[in-house]
Structure 1
Amino acid sequence: MVLSRRAFTLGALATVGLTASDVAFRPQSASAATYTAYLKTYFTESPNQSAADYGLHLAVSRDGLNWSPLNQNSPVVTPTAGDLGLRDPFVFRKQDGTFVVVATDLYGLNFGRNSQYLHVYDSIDLTSFTGYRRIQMHTYANVHTWAPTVFWDAGRGQYAIVYSANTTTDLFLVNYTSDFRTVSAPQTYFSPGFPVLDADIHVDGGVTYLYYKNLSNGNLYGARSGTGAPNSFTTYTSGLRQGNAIEGAHLLKRNDGSGWWLWGDSFSPVNNDFYLWGTNNIGANSWSVLNQRDYTPPLNSKHGSIVGITEAEFNGVVSRWGLPNWVRLKSWNLPDYFVRHSNRAVRIDPYPFDPHRDQMWRMVPGLADPAGVSFESVNVPGSFLRHSGYVARLDPNDNSATFRADATFHRTAGLADGGWSSFRSYNFPTHYLRHAGHVLRIDPLSASSSAADRQDATFRVTS
């Protein structure tokens, strides 16, 4: 059966777990729910800001590592007051099982703008965001209110909103609230004697963990407290850093209970790298670096948060907002590189880059064989990835038999990794799409080819 382009794309993204029917949703308390997937909030930027969007973006993941943007990576809601944009959106499941989102009141790169407010949205099930408002956190002049995080303080019976501020130095302030409408007066929450930024806080087993950036040396650290009270934390980890600079620490307990992840965002506003560590013991100083091959953040995503969600919530948000109708191809052996077109050549380049849409493809039934696949450019519609003289390029479809054959590939298990994909040429069936010197081409390959050649021909179909 020949599938429609839309149906085929969803099939290619079946790992995200879309179901055909909507599931009735009833909020469950955090302690009663079983989480089978994850939802991420973020905003977007790209190197030349062509993809900059300061609304609330959502993505979903089954494994917590590889993400699919919702709503075609467009915002689901955008602030209508204050700076008319948000950064650092933090989603939190409240005690009654519903959600609240708090976010920095800031549009773009105007970091000299010092708002006293945070944006706030309510959501029952993440399919709509209502009750939009701003809450005033302090009355200080020329003091920012950045990167909020939220946790439930059981001792107080209230929610704590902790955020970065720069009163006497860069430190964390806290306000307490029961309704995310009125808040207590701010007080210093963590000021360890050096400037800090970007708190994330998680309560587990009676211990409150706080992860943060030390601005003095640029590393991420973890601190902990037996009470979660202000000024009660002791740092217990060594400094963590990947890349040239890092911030935006986000701590996440895995849904399967087997351990924790710690995400870090690249420091530069024109760099969209995320980095990841894992541990099976949050109380130990034992974080391990994960290979970028193992995870793929949403396209152009910046500083956000992640929450575990139920099967009903997952199905609800996918039904409401929709999965991408495009894919990206990630290199197995150069996992920070993606397939893109540039001046009609097809190559792999290190992400991020602009124009960012050069890496977006509609994976459709094969032009010469609907059992195969063809790749149509998103930003040059009607043009397809094809080989010519064994070299891949982007050309407009002239509907000739030769073009259709050159632009058709059979998707197989990855030659280097069966969980990934390789693409065998339709009209040269011993040849596979691979990169060589960063340029894509087709070459004869098999299971007996060298490991390096098989790796060059292995890609993750992601979004």
Structure 2
Amino acid sequence: MKRFVYLLTMLLVAAGAFAQNAKNEVYLFCYFKGSSADGLHLAASTDGLKWQALKGDSSFLKPAVASDKLMRDPCILRGADGLFHMVWTVSWNDKGIGYANSPDLIHWSEQRFLPVMAAEKGARNTWAPEVTYDATTKQYMIYWASTITGRYPLADTITEKGYNHRIYYTLTKDFKTFTATKLLYNPGFNCIDASILPFGKKIIMFFKDETVKPVQKNIKIAYADKITGPYKQAGTHITGDYWAEGPTALQKGKEWILYFDKYRNHKYGALTSTDLKTWTDISDQVQLPSGIRHGTVFKITVAEYEKLKAAKN
């Protein structure tokens, strides 16, 4: 009898956990693989640690804009309009980025090329764009890293093929009209891969310090009172003694999980924190699809996840 009661209790606990989990949102990771020519890949997780590639790890959307037709560094945001808005890097050497939207991550709008750096004659590139929504102004901010030849000359750019990036941005309410491009963040050194999220009454930016001399190649944090800045760096780097890039953060209650690409080690890393000051490395607990490269994490509903699972190759 006692064993029966025990088994029944365990079943009820499991059922309760399943019911609770069914109410929760599912985490999604959008990313690229290889050269990115095959397009958008998606992986899902219920705990932020174990991630399963969807659709057999095949592409959900193939790139169709710009001469190189790449889809690197995808960033997806659910907008205030309910649509999923995506921006991405279309080329190593272009003055614009890619944009498309979708109601379900399966059916996509026509892809568009946004010439966000066209006004800068010396602009060499437009890398790793991301998009964040500002509920206060009801605007979307698209931001990215660009090098403008001669704008910020440094000695170490000799070893970086002359690249010396800063973070730039544009604002839009409808992804049809955009404000003039402006400088968002200049910490005084080469920086890329900004990822911006609300943090209470503050705005937090994770970004990569690209400095070669003395070598940095790590992830740092900056804060601001509003989405357009000014941003101020807080403390030193939070990643370890390895080269890291492509930070993207997930909030699970009071816990933050920061994922990043240990690109020289050909694997992903992860840190966790509850205060954004003390970080614990949990890289050995995270399982991601083989070959995953720079991307972003976001949340979807269980119903949306079930539709994605049913998507065929």
Tell me, what secondary structure is at the counterpart of 1:316? helix
- State the partner residue of 2:17: none
Q: Assess if the C-alpha contact under 8 Å between 2:39 and 2:59 holds in 1.
A: yes
- State the partner residue of 2:272: 278
Q: Assess if the C-alpha contact under 8 Å between 1:101 and 1:122 holds in 2.
A: yes
Q: Assess if the C-alpha contact under 8 Å between 2:32 and 2:295 holds in 1.
A: yes
Q: Does 1:122 align with 2:107?
A: no
State the shift of 1:43 in Å: 0.7
Q: Assess if the C-alpha contact under 8 Å between 2:247 and 2:258 holds in 1.
A: yes
- State the partner residue of 1:100: 85
- Structure 1 residue runs of 4 or more that deviate by more than 4 Å after TM superposition: none
Residues 132-151 of structure 1 aligned to structure 2 (within 5 Å): 132-139=111-118, 140-141=120-121, 142-151=123-132
Residues 182-193 of structure 1 aligned to structure 2 (within 5 Å): 182-193=177-188
Q: Deviation per CA, 1:71-113, whole angstroms, max 9, x where unpaired? A: 211111111221111100001110122211100012xxxxxx4
Query: Structure 1 residues 321 and 280, CA, compared in 2 at 3 Å: closer, same or farther?
Result: farther
Q: Deviation per CA, 1:292-320, whole angstroms, max 9, x where unpaired? A: 1x111112110001101111111111112
Q: Which runs of 5+ in 1 are unaligned?
A: 1-33, 107-112, 323-463
Q: Does 1:204 align with 2:199?
A: yes
RMSD of aligned C-alpha atoms?
Answer: 1.9
Q: Assess if the C-alpha contact under 8 Å between 1:35 and 1:309 holds in 2.
A: no
Distance 1:202 1:243 in 2: 25
Distance 1:143 1:181 in 2: 24
Question: What amino acid maps onto 1:288 in structure 2?
Answer: T
Distance 1:192 1:222 in 2: 11
Bigger Cα Rg: 1
State the shift of 1:191 in Å: 0.3
Question: What amino acid maps onto 1:164 in structure 2?
Answer: A
State the shift of 1:240 in Å: 2.3
Distance 1:118 1:126 in 2: 19
Residues 152-231 of structure 1 aligned to structure 2 (within 5 Å): 152-167=133-148, 168-169=151-152, 170-216=165-211, 217-230=216-229
Distance 2:280 2:46 in 1: 22
State the shift of 1:238 in Å: 2.5
State the shift of 1:131 in Å: 2.6
Tell me, what secondary structure is at the counterpart of 1:131? coil
Distance 1:54 1:233 in 2: 36
- State the partner residue of 1:288: 280
Identical amino acids, percent of aligned pairs:
27
Match of 2:61 among 43, 54, 77: 77
State the shift of 1:229 in Å: 2.2
Q: Deviation per CA, 1:27-78, whole angstroms, max 9, x where unpaired? A: xxxxxxx742111111112xxx7xx644111111111111111121111111
State the shift of 1:226 in Å: 1.4
Q: Deviation per CA, 1:365-395, whole angstroms, max 9, x where unpaired? A: xxxxxxxxxxxxxxxxxxxxxxxxxxxxxxx
Match of 2:232 among 224, 231, 234: 234
Q: Does 1:36 align with 2:32?
A: no
Query: Structure 1 residues 75 and 301, CA, compared in 2 at 3 Å: closer, same or farther?
Result: same
Q: Assess if the C-alpha contact under 8 Å between 1:225 and 1:234 holds in 2.
A: yes
Query: Structure 1 residues 157 and 174, CA, compared in 2 at 3 Å: closer, same or farther?
Result: same
Distance 1:64 1:87 in 2: 22
Tell me, what secondary structure is at the counterpart of 2:245? strand
Q: Does 1:309 align with 2:300?
A: yes
Q: Which runs of 5+ in 2 are unaligned?
A: 1-22, 153-164
Question: What amino acid maps onto 1:287 in structure 2?
Answer: W
Tell me, what secondary structure is at the counterpart of 1:130? coil
Distance 2:219 2:174 in 1: 31
Distance 1:204 1:95 in 2: 18
Tell me, what secondary structure is at the counterpart of 2:311? helix
Distance 1:102 1:44 in 2: 16
Query: Structure 1 residues 104 and 174, CA, compared in 2 at 3 Å: closer, same or farther?
Result: same
The total of aligned residue pairs comes to: 271
